[in-house]
Amino acid sequence: MRIATWNVNSIRQRLPHLLRWLAAVEPDIVCLQEIKCLDDVFPRLEIEAAGYNVATHGQKTFNGVAILSRYPLEEVTARLPGDETDDQSRFLEAAVSTKQGVVRVASIYLPNGNPVDTPKYPYKLGWMERLIAHAKARLALEEPLILAGDYNVIPAAADAKTPANWVNDALFLLETRARFRELLGLGFTDAFRACETAPGHYSFWDYQGGGWQRNEGIRIDHLLLSPQAASKLKGCVIDKAVRAEEKASDHVPVRCDLAIEV
DNA sequence: ATGCCGCGGCGCCCGCGA
C-alpha cells in the first residue's frame, strides 16, 4: 500500500500536476492540504475519473484538506477534537479496510504559527497539543495509523539547508520542536527519517528569492506511522522532481510504501 | 525591517503562506 501527502497550494491551480503525478506514481491513498476551496468546487469528478474516491474538508480561500483513495473511505471525520470554536479546515481522517484489518489515515495541515508574537503562534502550539491528545487516543486502538501532512515543523537542523535562517521562526522554535518530539515520543515513526539519515532532503522550497534554484529547502511534510504501520514500512521517498514543473506547488509529495495488502 | 512569489477574492490591493 502506497500512501502520500502533498500540500498542493490550491487544488484548482494544481489539478493537472496532481493527475500527472497520480498516473505516474499510482498511490493508493493521498492526503492533500491547502486545497483552498469549498467542497462544492473541488474537482471531484476529474479525480474520480482517475480512479479515486474523494473526501474533502474544504474552506473558502485558505486551508482545506482532502483524502483520495483507490479503496472505499469509511468513518470519514473532519475537524481535530479539542476546540469547538476552531473553524479552520485543517484535519480530515478516514479508514480503509484491508485483509489485515483497518488502516486509518489523517490529512493534517498544522498551522504555520508566524508571526510568533501574535495569536497565531499560541494557536499553533494549542493545535499541536490537541493533535498529541488525539494521537494518544488513536494509538490505543493499536491499528496501522498514518498521520500525513504539512506539519509546518522542521524537526532538526539537518532538515533545513540554512538552519540559522529559521531559529526564530515558528517552524523551528524550540517549543515547536519539543511538541513534535512529544508526538513522536508517543510511539510514532517519522517514515522518511526511518529510511534516510542523511541531511539535504527537503519537501518545501519558497517561491521567493529563487528558493528552488538555490535549493534553499526545508523538510516540513511528514508521514508519522504508528507502531503497527511502522513495522510494515518498506520505503519512503520525496518526489522532488515535481518542484521543477511549470506552475508547481511550493511543496512536493512525500510517500511511503507499507507491506499491507488491501 | 521588508520584499522577493503565488494564491484567492465583495479583486486591480490585500491577507496569507513559510
What pLDDT band is residue A166 in, cutting at 50, 70 and 90? very high
**How far is Cα A230 from Cα A40, in angstroms, rounded to an integer?**
35
The Å distance, CA of A167 to C1' of B11, is 36
Residue A106 pLDDT: 98
Q: Is the CB of A218 under 7 A from strand B?
A: yes
In the predicted model, what is the mean pLDDT of residues A78-91? 95
What pLDDT band is residue A63 in, cutting at 50, 70 and 90? very high
Residue A35 pLDDT: 96
A210-236 per-position pLDDT tens digit: 999 999 999 999 999 999 999 999 999
Residue A16 pLDDT: 96
Nucleotides in chain B with any atom closer than 7 Å to protein CB: 3-10, 15-18
A110-127 per-position pLDDT tens digit: 999 999 999 999 999 999
In the predicted model, what is the mean pLDDT of residues A70-84? 97
Q: Which of residues 154-193 of A touch strand B (CB under 7 A)?
A: 171
In the predicted model, what is the mean pLDDT of residues A146-150? 98
Residue A218 pLDDT: 97
Residue A262 has pLDDT above 90, yes or no: no
Percentage of residues in chain A having pLDDT higher than 70: 100
Q: Report the protein residue whose CA lies nearest the C1' of nucleotide B8.
A: A61
Look up the pTM and report it: 0.97
The Å distance, CA of A205 to C1' of B5, is 11
The Å distance, CA of A59 to C1' of B12, is 24
Helix or strand (DSSP H, E) at A135: helix A120-139
What pLDDT band is residue A100 in, cutting at 50, 70 and 90? confident
Q: Is the CB of A118 under 7 A from strand B?
A: no
A167-214 per-position pLDDT tens digit: 999 999 999 999 999 999 999 999 999 999 999 999 999 999 999 999
What pLDDT band is residue A249 in, cutting at 50, 70 and 90? very high
Q: Which of residues 71-100 of A touch strand B (CB under 7 A)?
A: none
Q: Is the CB of A58 under 7 A from strand B?
A: no
The Å distance, CA of A47 to C1' of B5, is 28
Nearest nucleotide (C1') to alpha carbon of A114: B18
